[in-house]
Chains A and B, each alone.
Chain A
């Protein structure tokens, strides 16, 4: 009887005009499509990021996730909340991968309130009193991801409150040292906000504290967000669909340019060595990994690990902030990963496809060049298509042909 129980509920969903995606704009240049404009801005982003700018490598980012009623909307599949949390998991992973010496915290807002889902790491105080009270360690995505996975089941009710969420984030961010960046990223689905006081006053405070607020809107452009982002120097984007959403979210992985007024200071860092003592070694003493103290599960005793050069506390994972002496512990590859932000790959030169002599194939993906413009590397003059150009600049951070030439001959 009930053959397709899942599909049968399609009528309950909203009306969709799926065919419109395929529509072409035939009326020529008078109605330039938004996609064209988007493409231009995509290119621009790649080009823009190549200035020699000072970047805020040590970031403190709060992500505010709207959990209000409108998150139940099904225009993202299966609904906005699930989709957002899914993307956030990927974001957190990628964030720590690219910014190993940064921190992130998550705030949710619903029912006119804001609450912390996960906190930024507590910095260097009250060490010996109670080791169990620490909440999260820097650079450790696991905590956030478990919290995000739990949040899928939250009920979306009421309205969000921009004011309360920003205020909550400020409480922590304002204590962060001046050489680090203070950022808030808001994922806002609702079109209204319920504020206890005048938000424009709060925007002024944010500005004076040099907190950068960016917003990703899930439905439409809201005035107050435009002002908020403009005043604090952040960016404001509204998603078109899921893939665009992901793209916008990933934009925030790259560290923002540091404001010239932020103070410079040298930071003490420890580079612990990984030692693996063999079980046969009689001198080796098993020790507890400090990062597992607060989590009930996971391995307890181990023989090897990373030892803090200052106090010899053991950790199984890096990067981490030493819970005993407060030293930031990183590994050299971590720093190297942040390196490409500072010395990015040069922008490729765009030229029309007609100017190209010889084969019209992309050097990277080997596909035929069909777009009207191609991109060539300024040092090795290899030609790429737009997709590969984006991939090289956003993920690889080095020109594959240059590398090949360096190694081959």
Chain B
């Protein structure tokens, strides 16, 4: 159908549209009009991707000078493939409607096997790839730096974007890294010797270039051709590479010294935490390495690798990592912390020293993106509370909206189970974690649910350790045996192969009527990437609130930083983080309007307003006061009723006019009125 969105003609490749899609497009258009950034939350399964694509493509066609390119970032390869599929449908629709062959070029960068390096990609109108291509400074420099300024960047499934940013900037150094780095440096030295004998002029040429400084890069940045690289700070562009590392041999010697210093730092017996300036002072005191040459390390190494014409950069990943670390540590005095741990928390007897150089400020990695591109849109099914993302990513959005799901029937049923049948409060909090009564009641809940929920149930625990404890305890109490009479049990483990095997068998059991339960962990692979459509997930149980492990030093440092820099209280952030993961977990079950599923939050803390209020609006609006602090029995009764209601025949016609619209219905005055209420501005 052809839509008119505030004067913009949008081709939409389907005959029907959801009201929220229309509303979403409205908001998106306003964002593009204002040339600003946006944060948009819309539940999964309501056609976010196609709404985004059709609007932006229409915008590109209408204003080719305003928006030249769409950069669509998604998380995983299957998601990228899904986007490409939708895009193909859209393009076919365009060809059919307009009758002209389209000159749109779209490009997907998914994996190496699909990689194309034809220069034409620079002119592609749409680029679909993974987050890392834009956020990770190492890859971004290769792939994304020539993207035009007038691009629209979309981050889909962006609820974890702050963690991606942080991971892309953080460096972990172990003994193994250092050993491999040592080898790299040796290889470099040898190569330099060889080159010196054969082609000394090349090295001299490089030297000359370094004296002139990184002018080239500077010119490029000033003329706005390239995306800024956070590893290449502005200041060093103005300066020449310092003399101490200008010749190749000196640089290699410098790296050796730095390496020795790191090795000595790793020989600690106790945990050390220090800031970047402290680290720099220490390195200056011990091995007389100045801040300035450290800052040039990354750039100098790149130059050297280019000069030596080393093809296989992957071999030199260790030395690249170390040099990046050197540059980062000397560039940013804030936003990073250095933690050296002599052993892991779990195995305090085995020495395995790690140097965490951890980024605490996600805005550092994403800053160039916000600065460079005129519109950046962050979207996901779960972004609540919306206002926290602009704060932690440090940007100013022009639109922030949360959309609800219009439903012809209430197909999701969130229940908060706070008590067992014996009135024992259910909670995964630390004090009651070992409590027998709580574990028994959790088991009882799963047992009762396994008897009334058809096909698949997915249960999430807060951590692997917690899951192990509970399952062991259930086994002893005989609960597991009783559950197995109703359904088969599969468990997610940290082993990827094992988990995918379990998943496959789980789906088989759901398919052939045996029924199955998948026990998995919030923040695990299953909770993030796997969808449980229809019968694969008729109920999701969330045992406890999935708080992150708060004793980790890195997290503590980050919380402190958030408090000092962004005035976000530790507790607020932890709750926000826990709730977004809980929402992700339970959201796995509902993947569309014809789907239905139970969402059971088994912890009395969910009933509190501060937790409940942080759930996405489309879940929150279905939690009524009657489903707040249920006992297991009450929950079972409600679930039974819900499942029977949902099993009644449901056809497309029932949705029409309510949650699914034809063009005429969409254009009615009354409907337009209703649509304005769908978007919830914050």
- Residues of A near any B CB (own CB < 8 A): 14-17, 20, 29-32, 34, 37-38, 40-41, 70, 75, 159, 162, 191-195, 198-200, 217, 219-226, 237-240
Among the stretches B10-18, B509-517, B559-567, B585-593, the one at the interface with A is B509-517
Q: Which of B356-412 contact A (CB under 8 A)?
A: 406-410
Distance A111 CA – B535 CA, assembled complex (angstroms): 25
Please give me the 8 A-B residue pairs with the lowest Cβ-Cβ distance, nearest first. Answer: A224-B513, A238-B647, A223-B535, A221-B647, A220-B643, A15-B633, A220-B454, A193-B513
Q: Is the CB of B513 within 8 A of A14?
A: no
Contact B634–A15 (Cβ < 8 Å): yes
Q: In the docked arrangement, what's the CA distance between A32 and B653, Å?
A: 13
Q: Does B520 contact A (CB under 8 A)?
A: no
On whether A200 and B648 interact (CB within 8 A), knowing A31-B410, A191-B454, A220-B454, the answer reads no
| A32 and B654 contacting across the interface, CB-CB below 8 Å | yes
Residues from chain A with a CB closer than 8 A to the CB of B118 are: none
Asked if A219 contacts B658 (CB within 8 A), the reply is no
Collect the chain B residues with CB atoms within 8 Å of residue A70's CB: 451
User: Which residues 632-654 of B have a CB within 8 angstroms of A?
Assistant: 633-634, 636-638, 640-641, 643-650, 654
CB distance from A204 to the nearest CB of B (A): 14
A-B Cβ contacts below 8 A, count = 108
From A29, A200, A224, name the one whose CB has the most chain B CB atoms within 10 angstroms.
Answer: A224
- How far, in angstroms, from A37 to B658 measured CA to CA in the complex? 13
Question: A192 touching B486 by the CB < 8 A rule?
Answer: yes
Is the pair B510, A237 in contact by a Cβ cutoff of 8 Å? no
Contact A221 B513 (CB under 8 A): no
B535:A37 contact, CB within 8 angstroms: no
Q: A29-B658, A41-B649, A220-B644 are in contact. Are A195 and B409 (CB under 8 A)?
A: no
The residue of chain B having its C-beta at the shortest distance from the C-beta of A70 within the complex is B451
**Residue B534 CB within 8 A of the other chain:** yes
Interface string of B446-458 (1 = CB under 8 A from A): 0000011111000
Q: Is the CB of A217 within 8 A of B647?
A: yes
Given A219-B643, A222-B454, list of 19 further CB < 8 A pairs? Answer: A30-B658, A31-B409, A37-B649, A37-B650, A40-B654, A41-B648, A159-B485, A191-B451, A192-B514, A193-B513, A195-B512, A195-B514, A198-B512, A219-B454, A220-B452, A220-B538, A222-B535, A223-B513, A239-B644
B409's closest neighbor in chain A, by CB?
A34
B487 within 8 A of A: yes
Residues of B near A75 (CB, < 8 A) are 640
A240 close to B512 (CB less than 8 A): no
Complex-state Cα separation, A15 to B631, whole angstroms: 10
Which B residues, 463 to 485, have Cβ-Cβ distances below 8 Å to chain A? 485
Q: List 11 A-B contacts (CB under 8 A).
A: A15-B631, A30-B407, A31-B409, A32-B409, A37-B648, A192-B515, A219-B640, A219-B643, A219-B644, A221-B647, A222-B454
The residues of B that contact A194 with a CB separation of less than 8 Å are: 514
Asked whether B408 lies within 8 Å of A220 as measured between CB atoms, the reply is: no
Whether the pair B515, A15 counts as a contact (CB closer than 8 A) is no
Partner of B511, one of A29, A37, A219, A224: A224
- State the CA gap A192–B535 with chains docked (Å): 13
In the complex, chain A residues whose CB is within 8 Å of the CB of B641 = 17, 20
Among residues of B, the one whose C-beta sits closest to the C-beta of A241 is: B644
Given contacts A32-B654, A223-B535, contact A191 B409 (CB under 8 A): no
A29 and B647 alpha carbons, distance in the complex (Å): 21
B residues in contact with A30, CB < 8 Å: 406-407, 658
Bitwise, B485-501 to A at CB < 8 A (1) or not (0) is 11100000000000000
B46 to chain A, nearest CB (A): 15
- Complex: chain A residue closest to B487, CB-CB: A192
- C-alpha gap A162/B512 in the complex (Å): 10
Residues of A within 8 A of B512 (CB): 195, 198-200, 224
Chain B residues with CB under 8 A of A14:
633, 636-637
B654 and A195 contact, CB distance less than 8 A:
no
Cα(A193)–Cα(B511), bound, Å: 11
Alpha-carbon separation in the docked complex, A329 to B156 (Å): 72
Contact status A223-B534, CB under 8 Å: yes
Q: Which residues of A contact B487 (CB under 8 A)?
A: 192
Kindly state the separation between the CA atoms of A303 and B638 in the bound complex, as whole angstroms: 62
Distance of A316 from chain B, by nearest CB (Å): 44
Complex contact B644–A162 (CB within 8 A): no
CB nearest to A227 among chain B residues? B511
**B616-640 to A contact mask, C-beta < 8 Å, 1/0:** 0000000000000001011011101
Distance between A12 CB and nearest chain B CB, rounded to angstroms: 12
Q: How far is the CA of A221 from the CA of B649 in the complex (A)?
A: 10
CB distance from B22 to the nearest CB of A (A): 16
Closest B residue to A75 by CB, please name it.
Answer: B640
Q: Which residues of A contact B650 (CB under 8 A)?
A: 37
Residues on the B chain within 8 Å of A225, using CB: 513
Known A-B contacts A30-B407, A31-B407, A194-B514; A240 and B649 likewise in contact (beta carbons under 8 Å) = no
Determine if B637 and A219 form an interchain contact, defined as CB atoms under 8 angstroms apart.
no
Taking the nearest CB of chain A, how far is it from the CB of B626, in angstroms? 9
